[in-house]
Amino acid sequence: MKKSNIFILLVILSLMLLGCGLVQTVAEPIDRQGCKADCRACGFSRYEYAAHHCWCVCDGIEIQLY
């Protein structure tokens, strides 16, 4: 196979994976751990993958970090 055919095949495969939600299955735990690391000065509260919001609890008050 030519290199261009392999590239096109990889692009198509990537788009198919995006459609079936596999990317979210892999990316969400990674993003959640990043949020926990960002909240290390306070305390981790929750993470919303769809909106990419990270919530921390500092001094008993929940704040949105990003």
Domain ranges of the chain: 3-64
In angstroms, the CA 65 to CA 53 distance is: 7
* Under 8 Å between Cβ of 45 and 56: yes
pLDDT at 20: 67
Provide the token pair at 43.
Answer: 């305390």
Measured CA distances, 52 to 18, 40, 60, 64 (Å) = 17, 18, 22, 11
Instruction: Dihedral sign for Cα 55, 57, 61, 66, please.
Output: negative
Mean pLDDT of successive 10-residue segments in the chain (66 residues)? Answer: 80 76 79 90 88 91 89
The pTM of the full predicted model, rounded to 2 decimals, is 0.64
pLDDT at 11: 86
pLDDT at 1: 58
